[in-house]
């Protein structure tokens, strides 16, 4: 990979470390809960967006509305989401996370928390401050990019 930009190169190395150390734990945890990738994606999406329709979610995940509907039915059965009729257009369903759904996401987050806490502990206050500033900068810049992203209300 002939990329000269040290920012980009470092970012890629960072992804590698992060995926292996943190994300893997999260995914493993979710799998043990019986959640598929699509389900995880749906929960994340709902957490970000607040609410969505069946077809919207399917589009986001790259599957048909039928597949989306079937998957959401399972999440409803597990009480991770709530599926209600949109009063403005009664053909569409409004999907939102239940408290239990939020909780599951938080648990997943905690599954990687061990590593994150270790990482945090190995950093001085000064270093943490520096990194926090850098991450916040990226978050804010990222949010300014591509208006494809609607703010989570």
Partner DNA sequence: CTATATAATTAAGACGTCTTAACTATTTAG
Partner DNA sequence: CTAAATAGTTAAGACGTCTTAATTATATAG
By CB under 8 A, is residue 7 in contact with its own copies? yes
Q: How many residues bind DNA (CB under 7 A)?
A: 28
Of residues 4, 16, 50, 77, which one binds its own copies by CB under 8 A?
16
Detail the DSSP E strand segments found in 26-147.
81-85, 93-97
Which residues fall within 8 angstroms of residue 108, CB to CB, at 6 or more apart?
A: 26, 29, 30, 40
For helices 65-77 and 37-49, give the axis angle rounded to 10 degrees. 80
For 10, the token pair is 């470092």
User: With b meaning 16 or more CB within 10 Å and e meaning fewer, what string describes 50-82?
Assistant: ebbbbebbbeebebeeeebbebbeebeebebbb
From 65-73, 98-106, 110-118, 136-144, give the range in contact with DNA by CB under 7 A: 65-73
Of residues 34, 141, 147, 153, which one binds its own copies by CB under 8 A?
141
By CB under 7 A, is residue 38 in contact with DNA? yes
By CB under 7 A, is residue 73 in contact with DNA? yes
Task: Compute the least distance from the CB of residue 129 to DNA, in Å.
Answer: 41
Of residues 3, 10, 20, 64, which one binds DNA by CB under 7 A?
64
Of residues 16, 89, 99, 106, which one binds DNA by CB under 7 A?
89
Which residues fall within 8 angstroms of residue 128, CB to CB, at 6 or more apart?
A: 120
53 near 94, Cβ under 8 Å? yes
Q: Which is nearer to its own copies, 15 or 67 (CB)?
A: 15
Apex CA 126: angle with CA 131 and CA 145, to 5°? Answer: 20
Chain residues binding DNA by CB under 7 A are 36-39, 53-56, 61-74, 83, 89-93
Chain residues binding its own copies by CB under 8 A are 1, 5-8, 10-24, 27-28, 31, 37, 41, 44, 47-48, 62, 106, 109, 113, 115-120, 122-123, 127-139, 141-146, 149
């Amino acid at each position: 990979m002939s990329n000269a930009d040290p920012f980009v190169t470092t970012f890629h190395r960072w992804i590698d470390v992060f995926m292996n150390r943190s994300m893997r734990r999260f995914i493993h945890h979710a799998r043990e809960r019986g959640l598929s990738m699509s389900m995880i994606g749906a929960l994340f999406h709902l957490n970000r967006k607040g609410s969505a329709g069946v077809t919207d979610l399917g589009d986001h995940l790259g599957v048909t509305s039928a597949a989306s509907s079937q998957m959401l039915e399972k999440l409803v059965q597990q009480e991770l989401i709530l599926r209600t009729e949109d009063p403005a257009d009664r053909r569409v369903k409004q999907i939102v996370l239940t408290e239990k759904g939020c909780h599951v996401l938080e648990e997943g987050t905690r599954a990687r928390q061990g590593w994150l806490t270790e990482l945090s502990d190995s950093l001085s206050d000064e270093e943490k401050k520096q990194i926090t500033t850098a991450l916040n900068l990226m978050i804010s810049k990222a949010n300014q990019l591509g208006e494809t992203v609607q703010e989570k209300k």
